[in-house]
Amino acid sequence: MQCLILAGGLGTRMRPVTEEIPKAMIEVGGRPFVDHQLHWLAAGGVESVVFSIGHKGSLIREHVGDGEAWGLSAHFVDEGTQLMETGGAVRLAVDAGILDDAFLVLYGDSYLRIDIGTVWAASDRGAECLMTVFRNDGAWDNSNVIFNGGRVELYEKGRDDARNIGMRHIDYGLNVLRAEIVAEYVPRATVHDLADLYHVLSVNGHLRGFEVTERFYEIGTPDGLADLEKHLEENRS
């Protein structure tokens, strides 16, 4: 299995810390956050990671190196200073020719508790695009998914009528994409939100869903970082 980690964002909600380092290098439990992600990925059977880097990305590259410290092979695709959003970053990685035909996608600030192999199997080992979803009911963030019968029937962010139309779930943060799908739907070398791709796949009936029951953690906000620190401390004792 291969995983693309989207770690190029500016991390504006974590300033001033992220003025000097990328979110992936924020210290969590005495170690850079990226260490926790790579340990989890390797333990879950991932063999290769590709980092999409941008803001202060050289610090991630220097820290991770070739990935051998985690039993992984690591590669990097650099957006430079012209950040292209999540979808543009995925397309750039596809065009670089270092991604498999199908691959996992993970946000660079997400800490998840899920069996990666089970997710991969649910996508028929990459034969179909897949989104992991969590029954949210607006608790952690605005729900944005209609999930039914193992399919994401609709994914759309920012709807005022989300509850009224049956949106109860939220995207969990670990997805499966196919390179050919990215090349077809995401324009080359443009600013593009990955959410737009997921929306199109959902309305076309081409997005499987996999429901997760364990909550997600993230370090994209100070509150999220505090929650993760607490979780790690409780599970360390």
> Hey, where are the domains in the chain?
2-236
Specify whether the CB–CB gap between 109 and 222 falls below 8 A. Answer: no
pLDDT mean over 67-75: 96
Quick one: pLDDT at residue 237?
52
> For all residues of the chain together, what is the average pLDDT?
92
> 39: pLDDT confidence band, cut at 50, 70 and 90?
very high
How many whole angstroms separate alpha carbon 30 and alpha carbon 8?
A: 22
Asked if CATH classification 3.90.550.10 holds for the domain at 2-236, the reply, yes or no, is yes
pLDDT surpasses 70 at 205: yes
Quick one: pLDDT at residue 215?
86
- pTM to 2 decimals? 0.94
pLDDT surpasses 80 at 180: yes
Burial environment of residue 196 by CB neighbours within 10 A (0 to 12, 13 to 18, 19 or more): middle
Cβ atoms within 10 Å, residue 228:
20
The H helix count followed by the E strand count for the chain is 7, 13
Tell me the residue type at 92. L
Q: What b/e sequence results for 47-84 when a residue is b if at least 16 CB atoms lie within 10 Å of its CB, and e otherwise?
A: ebbbbbbbbbbebbeebbeebeebebebbbbbbeeebb
